[in-house]
Amino acid sequence: MAAQETVDHKYVYDFAEGNKELKELLGGKGANLAEMTNLGLPVPPGFTITTEACKAYLATGREPDGLADQIETHLESLERQMGRRLGDPQDPLLVSVRSGAKFSMPGMMETVLNVGLNDRSVVGLSNQAGGNDRFAWDSYRRLIQMFGKTVCEVPGEEFEHALDEAKRAKGTTNDLDLDADDLRGLVDAYKSIFLKHTGRDFPQEPREQLDLAIRAVFESWNAERAVLYRRQERIPADLGTAVNVVTMVFGNLGPDSGTGVAFTRDPGSGAQGIYGDYLANAQGEDVVAGIRNTVPLQELERLDKKSYDELLGIMARLEEHYKDLCDIEFTIERGKLWMLQTRVGKRTAAAAFVIAGQLVDEGLIDLDEALHRVNGAQLAQLMFPRFRLDHEFEPVAKGIGASPGAASGKVVFTSARAVELAAEGESVILVRRETNPDDLNGMIAAQGILTSRGGKTSHAAVVARGMGKTCVSGADDIEVNVPAKRFTVAGQTVTEGDVVSIDGTTGKVYLGEVPVMPSEVVQYFEGSLDPEHVDNALVRAVHRIMSHADAKRQLAVRTNADTGADAARARRFGAEGIGLCRTEHMFLGDRRELVEKLILARTDDERESALAALLPLQRDDFKEIFREMDGLPVTVRLIDPPLHEFLPPLEQLAVNVAVAQERGEDVAKEEALLAAVRRMHEENPMLGLRGVRLGLVIPGLFAMQVRAIAEAAVSVTRDGAVAKPEIMVPLVGAVQELETVRAEAEKIIAEVVGDSGVEVLIGTMIEVPRAALTAGQIAEAAQFFSFGTNDLTQMAWGFSRDDVEGAFFWRYLELGIFGISPFESIDRDGVGRLVRIAAEEGRAARPELKLGVCGEHGGDPDSVHFFHEVGLDYVSCSPFRVPVARLEAGRAAVETDGSDSR
Ligand code: PEP
Ligand code: MG
C-alpha cells in the first residue's frame, strides 16, 4: 500500500498546473511562475519538482520512486511545446535548473544554467543564434563552470583562473574581448579541470546533466551556508527546496536583448513610480556580478519601446493581481519580453505602512488586510531616532541592542555627572559596567546608556526600554573603569567628555558623533503632528492603520510606568491605564536614609517612625500618578526587591569599616549597617526575601504602602479626579500569603476610604510557577491576576534573568534550542502553558477575574498574539511599546485564521 502511494505521488507540476498558494509544495519561485503562467503572462515554459521530492531525496539519499518517469513525461511535454529536444545537436532545447524554497533564501542554494549543451549541441545553439559562435561557446563554458562547481564541487577558483589566463593570453581584462576561438579553447581548459577533479569527462548526455543538476539543487538545501541562513532567519529546517526546470531565454544575444529587475513601487518609501535597473546584452548573473553598470529602467523606453510598454502593463497587472508591491526579474531576448520571476517584494518599515494605506485608497485591499500587512516590529523601528548613516562609520564594539534608537553624546561614568552635564545642555551617554537603581537619575538625564555587562532583561535594558531611551548592554569588548573615568575598546581609550554614538537596534558602538534624526511617528503619537493636516504619507498611513487596530482589538493596552511623566507620555501613546507601577524607585535617592532606618530599626518605635516618615512621600507619589491617569485603572505593586538592594554593597562597606577601625574612628553606626547587610546577604536574592515575603516579615511595610495608595486615591477623588487603584501583591506562591496581606489591607482600605466612593481592588501577580499551578485557589483571594512573565520565565526555566542572556544564550540560539530568548518572546509551550492553566483555573474559580500581563512580554508582538489567544483582558508594557501592543492586538483580532504574526 505504502509503495503504491509513493509510485502514485505527484512530484512534478507543469507551470500551468500550479498557483501562488502552493508555495509550500512548489516553493516561492515555482508557485509564482505558475501564477504568472496562468495569468497568460510571457513565462518561459517549464515545470517544478516539488519540495516533497526534495524531502524524500534528503531522507533516503536517492530520488523517490516515480520521480524520474514524471520528469521524463514533463520534459517530453515541454519539448513538444517548444518544438525542440533537450540538447538536440541541430536545434537544442536548453533549460535552467533553479532552486526555490517556500521562503526566499537569496543566493543560498544552487542554480545551473544552459543545461543541455554539449560538444554537438553547441553548434546547434550557434545556428539558433544566427551563427553567433561566440555566444554559443560562451554559454557552453558557463555551463561547465556552473555545473562543475555546483554539481561536482570543483573549486570555482580553478575556472576563474583559467578565464584570467585566457584573457591574459589575449592581452585584455574584459571578458567581451574573448572571441569564439578563445572561448572554444577555454571550454577545453574547463573540461580538463573537470576531468582532473572528478575523474570523469564532462557529461555529454543532456538527461544526465539534468538529473545531476536536480540532485545538486536538492542537496544544496543542506549546504552549510543554507543551514546557517535558515537558523538566522528562523526558517524551519525541514521544508526542503523545490526545483524549477525552465526553458532558457537569453538576454545576451545582442543589443536588442537584455535583462533587468523592477519594483512596482519604491520599496524604500512606498512612493508610486517606476523603479528598476536594466542591462542591455547581458544575463542576470552579469547584473549580480556588477560587470557593467546598469541603467535606470526608464531608459528601456528609448531602447525598446514595445518591450517597455509591455513590461509596464505587466507590472500594473501583477500589482492588481497580488494586491501588493511586487518585484520582478525579466529578460528580453531579441525584442521578446520574458518574465523570469515575481514575488511580493520586501520593503522598509516606512514603505510597508505607506503602501498598505495606498492599497486601501486604491480599493485593492480593505483595512483589515492593511493591518495584516504591517507589524509591530516595523512600527517600533519607525518610533526610534535613527542615525543618518550617509557615509560608513566603523563600529568599535557590538553589544546587545537592548533598547532601540540612536544616540550620540559625551561619555560620562556616573549618574551625578550625567545630571550635571545634561543640566548644562549637553547630550551624554552614561557608560557603566552595569546599572542599578541608583543610576536612575543619570539614565533619565542621559541620551543613551551603554553597559559592558548584562542582557536584554538587565536593569539597564528594562529601565531604558521603559523610558524609550537608547541602550546597548553587554558590550563586553569594552573595559569600563569608573574610578579612572575611562573605558578602553579595541586598543583605544575613551575618557569622560569624549563623544560616542550607540545604536540600540543593532547594538553597535561608534567613536565620535554620528548625526541623529528624530522620529516623525513619535511626533505624531505625541500629538505634535496632526495627521489630518500634515503632508506626510507615513504619518497619515500610521494614523489610519492604528485607528483601525484600536477599533478591532479585544485586548486593552496598559503601561508599565512609575512616574507621573511616564504615565502622561504613555497616555498620549494610547495607554488605557497602568498595569504595573513598580514602587521600588520610590525608596531611593534622598529617601534612602529613611529606608536604612527602617531596615536597621531595633525597636517597633524606630521602625514605625521610619514608616511614618515614608508614608506622606509615598502618598504624594501616588497622587501624581492617579492624577495623570484620571479615570483609568492604576495597578500599584507593593515593594518587590530584597531590602539589601537599598543598602551599600557588602564588600565596600566591610572595607570602609575596617579602614575606619584602623584609624580609630567611631564606627558604631557603620558596624550596625554592616551587620545588617551581612544578616541580609543571600546567595540567591532573586529566590530570597522579596515581594510578599518581605511584606510578611517586616511589620507595617505593606500596610504603609496600602495606606498611602488609599489616601492618595481619596485625596485626588476629593479634588475632582477619578482614581481607580488596584493593589498588586508580588511573588505570591500560595493563597495563604495573599490572604494574610489582603486581610490587613482590607482593614486599612475600609478605614481610609470610608464613604469617598473610591473602590480599591486587591489582586496578585502570577510570577511563581506554583502560583500558576494553584491559580484556582489563589483566585479565591484575588480580584485580578497580572502575569509577571519575567519572573515566571526565570523560575520556569531556572534561568537567572540578569545573567544568562549574555552568558550562554548564544549557544542555545546556535543549537536551535530556542529561536529567540524566552525573556523576549513568550515560550508558548512552557511558560505559556503556565499562563493558560492559571487563566483557565483562575476564571473557573472566579468568572469576573481580571487578567493581564505586565512582564516585558506584554510589548512583544508575538507574545501579544499569544495573550490574545489565551483571552487575557489586557497587556501592559513600557510606554514606548504601547503603540506596538495596540497594533499587534488589532492584528491578532483580525487574523482569526491564526496565521503567522511576523
Ligand atoms: C515580572 O516578573 O514579570 C515583573 C513584571 O516583575 P519584575 O520585572 O519587576 O520582577
Ligand atoms: Mg517579577
Q: Name the residue with the closest Cα to ligand 1, atom 1.
A: 788
Q: What pLDDT, on the 0 to 100 scale, is given for residue 112?
A: 93
Q: Chain-wide mean pLDDT for the chain?
A: 92
Q: How far apart are CA 383 and CA 406, in angstroms?
A: 11
Set of cell numbers at residue 17: 498546473
Q: What pLDDT, on the 0 to 100 scale, is given for residue 901?
A: 37
Q: Report the DSSP pairing between strands 272-280 and 295-296.
A: antiparallel
Give the residue, out of 562, 581, 582, with the most ligand 1 atoms within 8 A of its beta carbon, to mutate for a pocket test.
582
Least confident segment among 18-22, 545-549, 702-706, 894-898: 894-898
Q: Write out pLDDT tens, residues 722-762.
A: 999 999 999 999 999 999 999 999 999 999 999 999 999 99
Residue that wins the pLDDT comparison between 873 and 596: 873
Does residue 675 carry a pLDDT above 70?
A: yes
Does residue 374 carry a pLDDT above 50?
A: yes
- Count the residues in the chain: 902
Q: What pLDDT, on the 0 to 100 scale, is given for residue 289?
A: 57
Residue that wins the pLDDT comparison between 6 and 676: 676
605, 611, 615, 616: CA torsion to nearest 10? 70
Whether 327 is in the pocket of ligand 1, judged by its Cβ within 6 Å, is no
Q: What pLDDT, on the 0 to 100 scale, is given for residue 176?
A: 81
- The backbone torsions φ and ψ at residue 512, rounded to the nearest 5 degrees and listed phi first, read 85, 180
- Over residues 803-807, the mean pLDDT reads 80
Set of cell numbers at residue 652: 565596600
Q: How confident is the model at residue 290 (pLDDT cuts 50, 70, 90)?
A: low
Q: What pLDDT, on the 0 to 100 scale, is given for residue 347?
A: 85
Q: Write out pLDDT tens, residues 753-798.
A: 999 999 999 999 999 999 999 999 999 999 999 999 999 999 999 9
- Calculate how far, in angstroms, residue 483's C-alpha sits from the geometric centre of ligand 2: 32
Q: How confident is the model at residue 892 (pLDDT cuts 50, 70, 90)?
A: very high
228, 234, 238, 244: CA torsion to nearest 10? -80
Give the residue, out of 581, 640, 825, with the most ligand 1 atoms within 8 A of its beta carbon, to mutate for a pocket test.
640
Maximum average pLDDT range among 340-349, 641-650, 709-718:
709-718
Set of cell numbers at residue 151: 554539481
Which atom of ligand 1 lies closest to the CA of 580? 5
Q: How confident is the model at residue 108 (pLDDT cuts 50, 70, 90)?
A: confident
Residue that wins the pLDDT comparison between 74 and 261: 74
Least confident segment among 352-366, 549-563, 646-660: 646-660
Set of cell numbers at residue 440: 536612575
The H or E element containing residue 313 is helix 305-322
With a pLDDT cut of 70, the percent of the chain lying above it is 97
- Over residues 629-640, the mean pLDDT reads 97
Give the residue, out of 790, 867, 881, with the most ligand 1 atoms within 8 A of its beta carbon, to mutate for a pocket test.
790
With a pLDDT cut of 90, the percent of the chain lying above it is 73
Whether 790 is in the pocket of ligand 1, judged by its Cβ within 6 Å, is yes
Least confident segment among 333-342, 426-435, 464-473, 821-830: 464-473
Whether 802 is in the pocket of ligand 1, judged by its Cβ within 6 Å, is no
Residue that wins the pLDDT comparison between 239 and 506: 239
Q: What pLDDT, on the 0 to 100 scale, is given for residue 390?
A: 67
Does residue 666 carry a pLDDT above 90?
A: no
Strands (E), 496-625: 499-503, 508-511, 516-517, 556-560, 578-582
- Over residues 149-162, the mean pLDDT reads 93
- Over residues 345-361, the mean pLDDT reads 92
Give the number of whichever ligand sits closest to the CA of residue 732. Answer: 2
Q: How far apart are CA 590 and CA 512, in angstroms?
A: 35
DSSP structural state of residue 424: T
- Calculate how far, in angstroms, residue 785's C-alpha sits from the geometric centre of ligand 1: 13
User: What are the DSSP calls for 238-307, one per residue?
Assistant: T--EEEEEEE---S-SSTT-EEEEEEEE-TTT--EEEEEEEEET--HHHHHHT-S--EETTHHHHH-HHH
Q: Name the residue with the closest Cα to ligand 1, atom 3.
A: 788
Q: What pLDDT, on the 0 to 100 scale, is given for residue 293?
A: 72
Whether 858 is in the pocket of ligand 1, judged by its Cβ within 6 Å, is no
Q: How far apart are CA 30 and CA 96, in angstroms?
A: 13
Q: How far apart are CA 475 and CA 458, in angstroms?
A: 13
Does residue 273 carry a pLDDT above 90?
A: no
- Over residues 456-476, the mean pLDDT reads 80
Give the number of whichever ligand sits closest to the CA of residue 835. Answer: 1
- Calculate how far, in angstroms, residue 823's C-alpha sits from the geometric centre of ligand 2: 12
Whether 319 is in the pocket of ligand 1, judged by its Cβ within 6 Å, is no
Whether 875 is in the pocket of ligand 1, judged by its Cβ within 6 Å, is no
Q: What pLDDT, on the 0 to 100 scale, is given for residue 720?
A: 96
Does residue 431 carry a pLDDT above 60?
A: yes
- Calculate how far, in angstroms, residue 855's C-alpha sits from the geometric centre of ligand 2: 7
Residue 895 CB partners (closer than 8 Å, separation 6+): 372, 865, 901
Residue 40 CB partners (closer than 8 Å, separation 6+): none
**Residues noted as catalytic:** 459, 854
Whether 562 is in the pocket of ligand 1, judged by its Cβ within 6 Å, is no
- Calculate how far, in angstroms, residue 800's C-alpha sits from the geometric centre of ligand 1: 13
Q: What pLDDT, on the 0 to 100 scale, is given for residue 6?
A: 47
- Calculate how far, in angstroms, residue 731's C-alpha sits from the geometric centre of ligand 2: 7
Q: How confident is the model at residue 709 (pLDDT cuts 50, 70, 90)?
A: very high
Residue 449 CB partners (closer than 8 Å, separation 6+): 403, 429, 430, 431, 432, 435, 443, 460, 464, 469, 470, 471, 472, 473
Does residue 851 carry a pLDDT above 80?
A: yes
Which atom of ligand 1 lies closest to the CA of 786? 5
- Over residues 508-516, the mean pLDDT reads 92
Does residue 371 carry a pLDDT above 80?
A: yes
- Calculate how far, in angstroms, residue 793's C-alpha sits from the geometric centre of ligand 1: 10
